[in-house]
Amino acid sequence: MNRSGNQDAMRAKRRLFLSLTLLVVCGALGALIWTSFSGSLVYFHTPTEIRETGAAKAGQKVRIGGMVQEGSLVKEPGTLKIRFLVTDGQNTVPVLYDGMTPDLFREGQGVVVEGPWRPGEALIASSILAKHSEDYIPVEMTPEGIAKSKESLLRSLQ
């Protein structure tokens, strides 16, 4: 083999080595990203889906969305513990929560709760998100709020 042939063979080996190294690094990086995401993903379910797949979700952290059923909210006196039912109109899921609730949280209001699901018992909520109506308008944007802002502005200019 001549000198040019040896150089070509060395280049081919370097390319192969670089390609394999790049492949291994990309694979390790992909595996690292996949495992970090899969451990922290929490899927959103309705109460009906939880009832249908309850045993399969046992012990897993789930996120359930629905409405707080009217008449189901029970507060334990002297504590922050509450119990309520989340419904989608077809099924209900009992929820236990110990902590401060959002201002908009009440019966008949939309809610998203997250926590471990225990079939036959309840969802032990670690967080509660209260949903508001799609018609929500900040006070500042209501006709009364705009009038108040105008009055305040005019007073400040006098």
Report which of 65, 61, 51, 40 is spatially closest to residue 130, judged by C-alpha positions. 65
**How far is residue 130's CA from residue 68's CA, in Å, rounded to a whole number?**
10
For the cut 60, the answer to whether the pLDDT of residue 1 exceeds it is: no
**How far is residue 22's CA from residue 78's CA, in Å, rounded to a whole number?**
60
**Tell me: the pLDDT tens digits for 88-136?**
889 999 999 999 988 888 898 889 999 988 877 888 999 999 877 666 6
| pTM of the full structure | 0.62
**Tell me: the pLDDT tens digits for 45-86?**
889 988 888 777 778 888 999 999 999 999 999 999 999 999
**pLDDT, mean of residues 4-27:** 92
